[in-house]
Structure 1
């Protein structure tokens, strides 16, 4: 990886996506509830989230908040590589034969950032550089979710 001339040697590029709660997919209205950050240079994949239940209930009184919380907890498991514990390596059939899927931080981030039509959706992917991805994740949650 080529480093930008102005970039400090301890800084590493990262990507992040904001997790959105979309109670009624057809209306495309949402509330930010979390952030997933991936920094390969620091071997970091993490999520942080905050559910403001009063805000969510005002926004969507019919929303199943415990289901949203469970979905966010599942994101935590995916980040930690624990979502598929107990399962053997996954295999996917393709037009060219069978391929064993790898479970890496990169593939898990790819899964988490993929568009979907559910109550919990990722937003667009953005990037930056950081020395400490955990601190950057908390900064993003404070600025984009809380």
Structure 2
């Protein structure tokens, strides 16, 4: 078993209202050098909070979280960061449409399978 850290990715379409839905999970396991994000956008839930939400923009932002976890294949700043640095950067507090919730810890044999389990439990 290896310790890991994770945070729920939340969409906050109107930051001033503070309403949110869970749209993904980012998981980091230092021991296994694993960092990944899995996302799932419930469009109807999001539109219930904000009928004018920019779905394409939110989808693109979610994709950027996954790209950042993978090492920033687009050549951005994440490319130079280690996985732990990328995780800390992603979960840092921010007041944008996508935000990370509090960081939690757990133990898992397979962090990839655990990430899938957490997405199913907390997002879908």
Q: TM-score, normalised by structure 1?
A: 0.80
Equivalent residue pairs, number: 123
C-alpha deviations, 1:36-70, integer Å up to 9, x for none? Answer: 00001111000001011122112210100111110
1:120 aligns with 2:110: no
Task: Assess, with a 3 A threshold, how the Cα gap between structure 1 residues 22 and 86 changes in structure 2: closer, same or farther.
Answer: closer
Question: What is the RMSD computed on CA atoms of the aligned residues?
Answer: 1.6
Task: Assess, with a 3 A threshold, how the Cα gap between structure 1 residues 86 and 144 changes in structure 2: closer, same or farther.
Answer: closer
Distance (Å, rounded) in 2 between the aligned partners of 1:64 and 1:118: 13
Distance (Å, rounded) in 2 between the aligned partners of 1:41 and 1:18: 21
Kindly report structure 1 stretches of 4+ aligned residues shifted beyond 6 Å.
none
C-alpha deviations, 1:74-126, integer Å up to 9, x for none? Answer: 00111011255177x8xxxxxxxxxxxx5100100010000100000000000
Distance (Å, rounded) in 2 between the aligned partners of 1:14 and 1:41: 8
Structure 2 residues without counterparts, runs of 5 or longer? none
Q: TM-score, normalised by structure 2?
A: 0.93
Map of 2:25 onto structure 1: 35
Q: Who wins on radius of gyration, i.e. which is larger?
A: 1
